[in-house]
Structure 1
C-alpha cells in the first residue's frame, strides 16, 4: 500500500481511520475520574518519543522556524486533546465522533473569515446541514458539558487545520509534528502538576496505545495524500464514523438510534458531495488541458 494509486490511498485512509478509532477506544476505556491532565501529558511525551527515530527529517538549521504559530497551534491542540478525553468519556463513541466531524464544516467557515475564500452553494448547504445534524444528534435535552467538549474538540481541530497554511512551507510533516508535541510539553506538564493526582501506572498503557494508533493514523494520512489529489480520496475519511458505530456497538453495547442516523447523514453526506463535486471539477480541468505531443 504505497498510496501511489487512488485505490491504495483510499485503503490507507480506511485503515488509518480505524486506527484513529482504536486510539479513541483507549481513551474511552479510562477509569471514571482518571486524571485527564496526567493522561494528556503522558500521551504527548510518548508521541514525541515515537517521533524521535525520525529526527533525521528535521531541518536542524531552522529548527524553530515559525515558532509563534507553532506554539499557538500546539496549545490549541492540547485544549483539543483535553476536550476529546472529556467527550469520549461521557458520550457514546459514535456520537462523539459524529460531532468531531463538525471540524471540516468549521474549516469551511473559518476559511471564509480568515482567507476570504468563497463558498459554493453546495458548500453553504453542507455548513447549514452539518450544524443542523449536530443539533439532531445531541438534541437540546441531552446537551451537556460532554457535548460542549466534543464541539470544542472539533473547533480545535478546525483551527489547527486552517493554521497549517501559515506554517513554513519548507518544513516536513515530521518537523511540524515534532515541534507541535515538543511545545505542548511545558503546558501539559504544568497542568499535570497542578492537577496534583498521584501516579496512575495504568494510564501509561492507555496513553501508549492512544499515542501509537493516532500516530499511525497520521502516517497513513501522510502516505495517502502525498501523491494523490485530496479531492479524489478525502471522502474515505468518513469511514471513521462507520468504524465508530461498529466498535461502539460491539465493544460498548452502544446501539445507534434514529436521531444519530439522521444527524450523521446530515453531516457526512453533504461533505461527501462537496468532495465529489471537487473531484469532478478537477477531472474536467485536466481533460480540457491540451495533451503535449
Structure 2
C-alpha cells in the first residue's frame, strides 16, 4: 500500500466529513418548530431518487433478500434521523457532533454484548473516557431533551453499524442503501401525515441540500475505503469535529467553551489511539516474517 494511496484516502475522508457537516447545517437552518417527520420523509425520498442512477448495482432478482434485518435497520435509522434533527435544531453544531461521536464507543459495547467480543485495556479506557467526556460536555445542568436526542442518534448509528454483519454479504453498498431508504418511506410518510404540518418549499430545499451532501459523504467514504484498510485512515473521520467547530463558530457564532474542548478530547483521543493501535498491528501482520532454517 503506497503512501500516496493512503494520503488520497485521508484527503477524501476530510472532504467527506466537511460535506457531512454541510448536511448538518441544512438541518440547523430549519426554522424553529419545523416539522421533523416531514423533513425526514423528504430527505429519505430525495436520497432514494439520487440513488436511482445507480440502479444497475441492484440485484433485482433478490431485491428483498434479508428484508427482515433491512427493515429493522431502516426503522432504527428513521428514529436516529428524527433524533438528529431535534439535536441539531437545539444544540450548538459542535456539541451535537461531539455527542454523535459516542457511536463508535457504543459499537464497542454492543459488540461485547451481542458478539461476545473481548475489549482490550485500551478499548475499555476509550469506552470509559468517552462516556465521561459526554458528561463533561453536557454537564447535568445542560442535560435536556436535545442532549437525549443526540445520544439517541448516536445509539441508532451504533446499532445500525453492528447490524451490518447480519446483512447479505453479496449485496452491494448501493443495494443496501437503496433498500434501507425504500423501507423507511412508508412509516416516514405516515408520521409526516400524522404530524399534520403544512407542506412548503423551505423544508424541501433543506431536505434536498441535506440529502445531497450526506450522499456525497457516503460516496467519499466508499472511494476512500476501496483501496485501503479502514484502520489506516479511520482517524481522518474525526476531522468532522474540527469542521463542526469551524462552521459553528463562523456561521452560527457558537464559540466552544473549555468544557467542550476537554470533553471532546476525552471522546476522540482514545478512539484515535485505538485506531492507531489497530493500524500498527495490521502493519506487523503484513510484514514478511523471517524464515526458519
TM-score w.r.t. length of structure 1: 0.97
Is 1:94–1:244's contact at 8 Å kept on the other side of the alignment? Answer: yes
Give the CA deviation at 1:76.
Answer: 0.2
Task: Write out aligned runs for 1:1-293 (5 A).
Answer: 5-289=5-289
Q: CA deviation at 1:215?
A: 0.4
1:200 Cα deviation after fit: 1.8
Q: Tell me how far apart the structure 2 counterparts of residues 120 and 276 of structure 1 sit (CA, whole Å).
A: 14
Provide the rounded CA distance (Å) in 1 between the counterparts of 2:290 and 2:195: 63
Contact 1:4 1:227 survives alignment (8 Å): no
Matches of 2:31 and 2:49, distance apart in 1: 25
- The CA distance in 1 between the partners of 2:283 and 2:51, in whole Å, is 37
- Give me the whole-angstrom Cα distance separating, in 2, the residues matched to 1:83 and 1:167: 24
Distance in 2 between the 1:269 and 1:90 partners? 26
Q: CA deviation at 1:227?
A: 1.4
Superimposed CA distance per residue, residues 177-204 of structure 1 (whole angstroms, 9 cap, x where no aligned partner): 0000000000000000000111121111
Residue 135 of structure 1 aligns to a residue in which SS?
A: helix
Distance 1:4 1:218, change over 3 A: farther
How far the C-alpha of 1:290 sits from its partner, in A, is 6.1
SS at match of 2:30: coil
* Cα distance, 1:287 vs structure 2: 1.1
Aligned length: 289
8 Å CA contact retained: 1:91, 1:147: yes
1:60, distance to aligned residue in structure 2 (A): 1.0
Distance 2:251 2:154 in 1: 24
Deviates more, 1:91-100 or 1:192-201: 192-201
Q: Give the secondary-structure state (helix, strand or coil) at the position aligned to 1:170.
A: coil
Structure 2 CA distance for aligned equivalents of residues 228 and 252 of structure 1: 36
**Structure-2 separation of matches of 1:160 and 1:235:** 20
Shifted more, 165-174 versus 282-291: the winner is 282-291
- Partners in 2 of 1:213 and 1:39 — Cα distance? 15
- Please give the TM-score of this superposition, normalised by the length of structure 2: 0.97
Give the Cα–Cα distance (whole angstroms) in 2 for the partners of residues 289 and 44 of structure 1.
50
Q: What are the Cα deviations for residues 252-284 of structure 1, in whole angstroms up to 9, with x where unaligned?
A: 000000000000000000000000000001111
Q: What is the deviation of 1:63?
A: 0.5
Please give the secondary structure, in 1, of the residue aligned with 2:287: helix
**Take 1:251 and 1:111, find their aligned partners in 2: how far apart are those partners?**
38
* Maintained 8 Å contact 1:4/1:228: no
- How much has 1:4 moved relative to structure 2? 8.0
Provide the rounded CA distance (Å) in 2 between the counterparts of 1:73 and 1:217.
20
| Displacement of 1:289 | 3.9
| Structure 1 Cα separation of the partners of residues 256 and 194 of structure 2 | 38
